[in-house]
Structures are given as structure tokens and as C-alpha cells.
Amino acid sequence: MASSCSFLVPSSPVFPSHATLPHSSKRWRLPAFCEYVRVRGSMKWRKCSRDFSSSPAMLLPLTRVHNRGQWRDSSSRRKQLLCTRCCLDEAGGMSSSLEAKKNQAGAKKSSSTTASAGAGEKAMPVQEAEASTSGTLYPPSVSHKKGYLEVSSLHAIYYEVFGNPKGRPVVFLHGGPGAGCSERHARFFDPQHYRIVLFDQRGCGKSSPRGSLENNTTWDLVADIEKLRLQLGVTRWMVMGGSWGVTLALAYAQSHPKSVAALILRGVCLLRPQEIDWFYKQGANALFPFGWEELLSVLESSERNNILSSYYRRLTSSDTSIQQQAAQAWLRWEMGLSFFSTSPFVVSWDGQQYLTIPSPLVAPEVTQESSNQTRNGKSRGRLTGSSPSSSQTETKTAPSSSSSSGTSSRAQPSINQSQSNKINMSSQLAQARLECHYFVNGGFLEDNQLLLGIPKMQSIPGIIVQGRYDFVCPLVNAFDLHRAWPEAQLRIVPNAGHSMYEQGIMDELLRATETFKQLEY
């Protein structure tokens, strides 16, 4: 373990030759060689006597080439040297962990200096990844086991198992709540190495009864995950979750830390009141006024003072047409903010309505390609808050039983007449109902519960992947989590938003699953 090093990456293609320490006025110049290394799993630094002429190929996009005195952008897989002396902050500055310890006493003289020193002292690598690197998912595979697990007298959850039956177990927690899993989620893991478990949480996908809000809380889902682990005979497993899946993963890890070998978290959602307010009260509406206007258009003027409560009443109405209308508007708003757009179109007012037209600043071939895509199915013309194509969104159908050659461990649970209406409920309505149910109840969490509970899971290795332009779960969520959990690695992806299928996010998730292949559990 002592020979394993934790490498750091600069946050800009051209890294400065010197920088000011946040806790001191002293300036120092970057060495032309790797002077110190951090031992994996430790916050301590030691002198490095390693021969870097035999360094293994590094897969990080921004590297320091051996015996060169400048940072440069590199996507090749040559033998490269990374300076491991500095911890990076979001702005691209750096601070020496060793120097921080020497100046700790002086730094405590002022509160502002203390805060800066503390952040520089505790923080593990904050790495800025490239969104342009190429990465592909693993090929589609067929599940070798599937079934229903009855977790209560009412609910039964559907699960499928992919990959190597004797591999390292990993469970994927989908977002939403209520988005459900798909076979594509299994493709983020090497099927030769991992035993991949997907399941639909209560009330969604193939789990039954669909759309049911009864006995459906965060802690019910946490208990379901543990029951599924025992059902499959898993001792410990790696947990990967995105968006709402992060909330659930943290709640599970803090409730059952001995069951979790590692965490991969993408698009951090802690379901704090300010996060819900950002999305449904004041914040995101300032960036997406057209989509916000469409979200409000479903409501009467008297209902717009409390959007969550008003939508909850509509989504739980006995009138199916009111339910469906509310569900469509709800999901259109959410999905419209899930991607960081690079569309070559601009919004233009023609005197009667807003239109999306090709931008004159974009190369003709790019505009033509996007126009072809538009004609092939994407919406164009009058501006709406419509969502991206279904092939990219995280609202997926459940794993298909017809695509699996495995046998169910249990038959589909019997359905009584009182549940039949919920089973026939559309997946979109079920997701909207479940999301609104959890949001109006604050995720069934106390204030800052997940951040305050970090000490319970502090020793679990983790990687946090966050899009810089995530409008659903803003970057500050990941920043707050990393401040509370500095042992984890935070990777910020520029030019990326919320979806796990944006190229930069996808690359970092694949890299994370590759990194944890070395983990023994």
C-alpha cells in the first residue's frame, strides 16, 4: 500500500509556474519533479524516492510531463509524471499540505485565514476533468438472474443481476425518485469483473404496486436495499447512485456502513430545503424562464404560491386527465434542465412567438447536422421546455424480462383489484407522483441529516462526479459534501450538466468503476 500514490491534476490546461498559498503570503515555484506523494488511504505526505522513468501510463487528461516545467493538455496514454505536492481549489489555485501544517498556528490568528487553511488542509484532490475525452459503455449484456423480492405486505421490488456471478458485487441506485432502472445502467461496469445488481425502487418500474405512495419513504428504501443484499447472499458491495440515488446511497451507507465497500456518487442531491427551493421556488427559474412559465401554466394563479403542494394535489387527484397533465409538465421541466446544452440554435422573437433558429455563429456543417437531427424527431419551432430525447434521459423503463435468459427467483406477485389501477399507471405519472411525494416531505430527512451523518461512513472510499453546469443539482451540493467528507475524491466535469449520459460524466463514471477494480472486498 505504501507504494500507491494519489495523483493530483491541475484545473486549467496551462497551470501557473507559481501560486499564492491561501493560508500564507509566501510564494513558491512548482518543482520540476515529484517531491512528495500521498500514501493511498492516508492524509499523510512522505518523501518520494520513486524512479519516475518507469512510471505507469496515466489515464488522466491533464498531466505534467516528466522533466518538463509546464502543465500541458494531453489525452495520450504515454508515461507521464504528475506533481503530487499540491491540493487544488476550484479556482485553479493550490496549497501545499506540508506547508499548511507548518503555518497552521499562524493561520488560526484570523477567522478568515483559519477557514482557508482548514479547507486547504483537509481537502483531498479536487480534479477538473475533460468533457471531450472519449469513453464508451460496455457492450449490452443479458441478466443471469431476476425476480421479485417482497419487502412488505404491500410492496414487491423487481431486480436483475448482470455480469460475472462470482464477481465483485455492485448495486446501482437509480434517480427520481421513481425513474427506474434499465439495462443500460449495467453497462457502466465491466461485466467480467463485477456482479451487477439493478432494482426498481418501491412504486416504479416493474416493482409493484406502481405509483403507490403508501409505506414509501427513504428509510423503507434503505431497508429494501439491505434485504436485497441478504437475499442475494452478498457480504459487502459497492454502491453507485446518481441524483436522488446519491441521497439514497448516503442514507444507506450511514445506516449500514459495514455493508458498503465503496461509493460512486454522481450529481449530488442531499434533499436539503434550499435544494428543493432552488428547483421549485427561486433559482433555476431565473436561468430557464420559458420552462418555468410552462411549469406554472398548468396551475391556476391561486396555486402558484406553493408549487409543490399544488402539484401534489393534482398528481394525487382522482381525475386521471388532471394527473397526466400535471405529470407531463412536471417531467418536462425536470428533463429540460438535465443536460448542458450545446445546441447551435438561438431563441428569436418573430413578433408573435419565440422560435428556435440556427445560429449564424455556428459552422454551417454543425447547424446542418443539428437541423437533420431536428427533422428526425427533435422538437423545433415554438420554444417550449421540452425534454431531451428519450434515448438520453434517465427516465428509463425497467429491465425487460424478455431480454434476459435467467430465471426468476420468485414469480410476479399477485395483484388484487385495489392495486390494479396503480399497476396500470404510466411510468411517467408514477415517477412524477413519487418525486413530488418525497419532495413535499423533505425526503423524510432532518435538516442536514446526511452531512451530519458523514462520520458514520467516513472510512468508506468514495468518488464524487459532478457536472459544473448541473442545473438540477448545483455544484455547491457536491462542494458541501466534499467539505464534510474530504477523504472522498471530487471530480468536476466542465461543459457537463446533470445527466450520466453526457460524455464527460460518462467518462468519469467509467473511470471510477475501473479505479475500484483494485479494491478488495
Answer yes or no: 190 catalytic.
no
Answer yes or no: 12 catalytic.
no
Q: From the CB of residue 431, how many other CB atoms can be counted at a distance below 10 Å?
A: 26
Residues with Cβ within 8 Å of 143's Cβ and at least 6 positions away in sequence, in order, are 160, 161, 162, 183, 186, 399, 403, 404, 405, 406
Residues with Cβ within 8 Å of 10's Cβ and at least 6 positions away in sequence, in order, are 62, 64, 71, 88, 92, 128
Catalytic one of 155, 224, 498, 507: 498
Q: Please say whether the beta carbons of 38 and 45 come within 8 A.
A: yes
Query: Alpha helices of 300-410 — where are they, by DSSP H?
Result: 307-315, 320-336, 364-375
| Cα–chain center distance at 190 | 19
Catalytic one of 470, 482, 499, 507: 470
Q: Please say whether the beta carbons of 449 and 271 come within 8 A.
A: no
Check residue 304 and give left, alpha or beta (phi > 0: left; psi -120 to 50: alpha). Answer: alpha
C-alpha cell at 4: 500507491
Catalytic one of 212, 243, 255, 338: 243
Torsion of CA 177, 181, 187, 190, to 10 degrees: 80
Going from the C-alpha of 230 to that of each of 4, 154, 227, the distances in angstroms are 33, 20, 5
Answer yes or no: 338 catalytic.
no
- Return the residue matching grid coordinates 455480469: 163
CA distance 364 to 515: 41
Residues with Cβ within 8 Å of 278's Cβ and at least 6 positions away in sequence, in order, are 284, 474
CA distance 456 to 446: 16
Nearest to 212 by CA among 36, 440, 429, 442: 429
Check residue 351 and give left, alpha or beta (phi > 0: left; psi -120 to 50: alpha). Answer: left
Q: Please say whether the beta carbons of 265 and 467 come within 8 A.
A: no
Residues classed as catalytic:
243, 470, 498
